[in-house]
């Protein structure tokens, strides 16, 4: 017997307990017969984020990830989707591979992660070498993101981190702020713009920016969900979230 709502795939979605954007974003993108099942990664000390504490805070989230994996495994999902991106950029390509491997060993199923999903998205668009990166993070974390993309053969030409002071504050960044930042990041010297940080609400703005700039603008939630769908053979195209979901 199959699940009556999730008759094609059930996705276990892992995200920080402080995150309020991944669930609504993913649920707006899900095709019929695919259901998402959010599992919260307990995230304390939400109000003390700074350049010095960012990595330690994110490491706590990483450490609690396997608990959330075990919890969501009880609903028998077919695939896992990581709705927290910072930890998937730590320590470059090797760190990303290690993270996926650990989760896959515990769960026995595959996982889609933000860092590798952005890489897959840029390769799918094609012709992307030089990129700009927008994040809600702090400079110490943007360095990690640039290192990861460097390992994958991309050059981060420019980056901006919004330095949000709490995990929940990330979800309070407005479309106006993000639009201004995107305009500042764009230039003839970048082939694509990548937004990381899953609690930043940017999936619809990215689609608009992509149209206006005439180049790929990749919101990490779109890339991660797209990766989960396509690696599961779900080819349904979804409109309203940019070319990644509608054309590829």
Partner 1 sequence: MPDALGWRKKFAVLVPSTNTSVQPEFDEMRPPGVTNHISRIRIPNIPLRSDEDFKRLIELIVVAQMEAVDSAMSMEPDRLVLGISAESFWDGYSAAKKLKKDLEDYTKLDVSMGSDAAESALALYGAKRIGVITPYFPVGDQNVKRFFEEGGFKVAKMVGLKCESPVAIAHVTETQLRDAIRAVDGPDVEAIVQVGTNLAMARLAPQAEIWLGKPVIAINTAIYRHALRASGISDKIDGWGPLLSVH
Binding residues for partner 1 (CB under 8 A): 1-6, 10, 17-21, 23-25, 27, 30, 35-40, 42-44, 46, 68, 70-72, 74-76, 167-169, 171-175, 201
Task: Give me 134's structure tokens.
Answer: 């927008």
Compare residues 22 and 194 and give the one whose CB is closer to partner 1: 22
State the nearest-atom distance from the C-beta of 96 to partner 1, in Å: 25
Q: Which of 85, 86, 68 is nearest to 77 (CA)?
A: 68
Nearest to partner 1 of 83, 95 (CB atom): 83
Q: Chain centroid to CA 242: how far?
A: 15
What does the alpha-carbon distance between residue 180 and residue 168 come to, in Å, rounded to a whole number? 21
Query: For residues 17 and 143, which CB has a smaller minimum distance to partner 1 in the complex?
Result: 17
Helices (H), 152-237: 175-185, 203-213, 220-231
How many other C-beta atoms can be found within 10 angstroms of the C-beta atom of residue 85?
A: 30
Contact 157, 129 (CB under 8 A): no
Q: How far is the CB of 75 from partner 1 (least distance, A)?
A: 5
139-151 and 114-125 helices cross at what angle (nearest 10)? 50
Tokens coding 60:
């706590």
Contacts with 207 (C-beta within 8 Å, 6 or more apart), sequence order: 217, 240, 241, 242
Closer of 42 and 213 to partner 1 (Cβ): 42
Smallest gap from residue 200 Cβ to partner 1 (A): 8
Q: What are the DSSP calls for 81-126, one per residue?
A: EE---GGGTTTHHHHHHHHHHHHHHHHSS-EE-HHHHHHHHHHHH-
For residue 8, the minimal CB distance to partner 1 (Å) is 12
Q: Minimum CB separation from partner 1 for residue 95, in Å?
A: 25
What is the DSSP-derived secondary structure letter of residue 32? T
- The smaller minimum CB distance to partner 1, of residues 36 and 142, is found at 36
Q: How far apart are CA 228 and CA 206, in angstroms?
A: 19
Smallest distance, Å, CB 44 to partner 1?
7
The nearer residue to partner 1, 145 or 171, going by C-beta atoms, is 171
Query: Shortest Cβ distance from residue 16 to partner 1 (Å)?
Result: 8
Instruction: Closer to partner 1 by CB, 53 or 155: give it.
Output: 53
């Amino acid at each position: 017997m199959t699940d009556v709502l999730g008759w094609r795939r059930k996705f276990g979605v892992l995200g920080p307990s402080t995150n309020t954007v991944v669930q609504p974003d993913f649920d707006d993108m899900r095709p019929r017969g695919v259901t998402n099942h959010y599992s919260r990664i307990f995230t304390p000390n939400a109000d003390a984020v700074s350049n010095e504490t960012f990595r330690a805070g994110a490491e706590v989230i990483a450490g609690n990830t396997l608990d959330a994996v075990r919890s969501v495994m009880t609903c028998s999902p077919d695939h896992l989707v990581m709705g927290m991106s910072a930890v998937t950029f730590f320590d470059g390509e090797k760190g990303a591979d290690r993270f996926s491997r650990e989760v896959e060993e515990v769960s026995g199923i595959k996982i889609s992660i933000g860092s590798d999903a952005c890489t897959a998205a840029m390769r799918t668009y094609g012709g992307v070498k030089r990129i700009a990166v927008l994040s809600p993070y702090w400079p110490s974390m943007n360095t990690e993101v640039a290192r990861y993309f460097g390992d994958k053969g991309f050059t981060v030409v420019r980056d901006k981190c919004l330095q949000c002071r709490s995990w929940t504050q990330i979800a309070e960044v407005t479309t106006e702020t993000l639009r201004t930042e995107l305009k500042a990041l764009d230039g003839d010297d970048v082939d694509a713009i990548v937004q990381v940080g899953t609690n930043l609400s940017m999936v619809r703005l990215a689609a608009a920016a992509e149209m206006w700039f005439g180049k790929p603008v990749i919101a990490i939630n779109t890339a991660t969900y797209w990766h989960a769908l396509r690696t599961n053979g779900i080819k349904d195209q979804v409109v309203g979230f940019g070319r990644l979901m509608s054309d590829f």
